[in-house]
Amino acid sequence: MSVLPTSAEKSIDLNGIFSAIDFDGVQSIVVAVSGGSDSLALLYLLLEYRASRNSFPEILAVTIDHGLRRESRDEADYVGELCRQANINHRILQWQGEKPGTAVSAKAREARYKLLCDAARSVGAGMIFSGHTLDDQAETFIMRSARSKSGGSERGQAGMAPASLLERQVWLLRPLLNMRREELRSYLRRLGIAWRDDPSNESSKYERVRVRKTIMGNDLTPFCREIRERASDRVRINAEVAETLPGCVTITRGIVAEIDHRRWGLLKPEIQQLAVGVLLAVMGGQSFLPAATACKRALKFIEETTWHRKLSLGRCIIEMRSGKILIYREMRSIPAVNVEPGVSVVWDGRYRVANGSRQPLVIEACGARRLGQLKDRLKDVYGPSALSSPVIVVNGADCLQVFDDHGKLPEGVIIERHFGLFDNILVGYDELLAQCIAMMFKMQAYKRSPVNQINKN
């Protein structure tokens, strides 16, 4: 017997949920299904939407067994049985290894995203679907607002984006951000589908659960309105930075950002603050924007317009030099990393090195000794900025990447610029900004989002 509702029973606008997603040319999609009400409802809504279309991508349902509760395997098997009845493929992937003692939720999310990306790559899927709801969005907004009042970033108050790019390859889509959890549960009840509740979702020791209980059953319209405004502001400021940054900043060989002081002074303060934060993050190899206090300190240093000064901030040097502002990685706390054959690492948060050769290699900073031997090659490179540039050492021979020595690399060894700010998780609101940085560093463009990032809550 079909578990899909009849036309008379339908009360959810499928087109309103899915029609904004560009499925053209997509061969397969991954749906993250835990066994809870939100993800199960998403799965059945996708099945119903598929039934209304002439063609639709293959669906792979994936359940991540984190191994943190005894019931988790039974819940995963339950999802598998539902998928068997619906005639769709299902995989159970386990979070292997020793579990952390602290920050379990954050590390479990990181592991979950990695496993979902692995599953997506295995079937050539460019999209992963997640069942985050309007309730989740409101909870996220409230928690981030509280952190903002204690010094956190206000950008987070835009809430979860409708889409985020994982590992530069797969878009994580959240099509249910406009829907209440109870509406989805009513939908499952009409289908006769039971869900499995995670007991931790009732434990008040978790901040999210405490927030959830305060808004349960409440009208979320005020939250929706403010989230939408915050998201629009974030996209607008990102777009302004993306439009103006290339006109006043030059990136040389990926290791130094040179800012034209006169043009910089014409930018609005809010644009300057985000721009300097992005430059500090990408030049310093950081995964997050600096705190607002750090950005304001950098701007104050720049505004004083006294030349031949340096400031160490956010693993970077900001240097005022003859009408220009230079930002580059400071020569401090830079590791030397061994990379065995078949291994890929991110070095210093700035470069990804993949060793596809048959021999081990070392990646380390150039340093003063090497730099002193290469003065004749420093035509367009500011010497102090090259100190922290990467060197690949293979069998005792150096390959200095700042000097474009790629031809000296063994076959199979790849080194490329890495932006922790965007490459791990690119929040969809920041897509234009990320594309701008990729262009300025002459890197491959990021994969375009298949949805509109402003959620019309």
- Whole-angstrom Cα distance, residue 64 to residue 113? 9
Reported in sequence order, the residue ranges of 261-357 that DSSP labels E, i.e. its strands, are: 309-313, 316-321, 324-329, 337-339, 344-347, 351-355
- 3-class state of residue 345 by DSSP: strand
Give the pLDDT confidence of 85-103 residue by residue, as tens digits: 999 999 999 998 887 878 8
Could you tell me which of 382, 97, 429, 450 has the C-alpha nearest to residue 237?
429
In the predicted structure, residue 201 carries a pLDDT above the cut 60 = yes
pLDDT range class, residue 217, cuts 50, 70, 90: confident
Check residue 455 and give its pLDDT: 53
pLDDT range class, residue 205, cuts 50, 70, 90: low
Give the pLDDT confidence of 172-193 residue by residue, as tens digits: 999 999 999 999 999 999 999 9
In the chain the first and final C-alpha atoms are separated, in Å, by: 35
Check residue 371 and give its pLDDT: 82
Provide the residue ranges of all domains of the chain, joining segments of one domain with +.
7-223, 228-331+424-440, 337-417
Tokens of 444: 């491959």
CB atoms within 10 A of CB 391: 19
In the predicted structure, residue 457 carries a pLDDT above the cut 50 = no
How is residue 41 annotated by DSSP?
H
Q: Provide the b/e sequence for 209-218 (b: ≥16 CB within 10 Å).
A: eebbeeeeee
Tokens of 420: 């922790």
- Whole-angstrom Cα distance, residue 36 to residue 374? 61
Give the pLDDT confidence of 321-356 residue by residue, as tens digits: 888 899 999 999 999 999 999 999 999 999 999 999
Identify whether the C-beta of residue 279 lies closer than 8 Å to the C-beta of residue 419: no
- Whole-angstrom Cα distance, residue 344 to residue 414? 9
**Maximal C-alpha separation, the chain:** 79
Comparing 258-267, 284-293, 368-377, which segment has the lowest mean pLDDT? 368-377
What is the chain's percent helix, strand, coil content, to nearest 5? 40, 20, 40
CATH architecture of 7-223: 3-Layer(aba) Sandwich (3.40)
Residue with tokens 């400021």, as numbered in its chain? 237
- Whole-angstrom Cα distance, residue 41 to residue 418? 37
Give the pLDDT confidence of 364-412 residue by residue, as tens digits: 999 988 887 776 666 677 889 999 999 999 888 777 666 666 567 888 9
In the predicted structure, residue 38 carries a pLDDT above the cut 80 = yes
- 3-class state of residue 128 by DSSP: strand
Could you tell me which of 35, 48, 43, 27 has the C-alpha nearest to residue 79?
35
CB atoms within 10 A of CB 44: 20
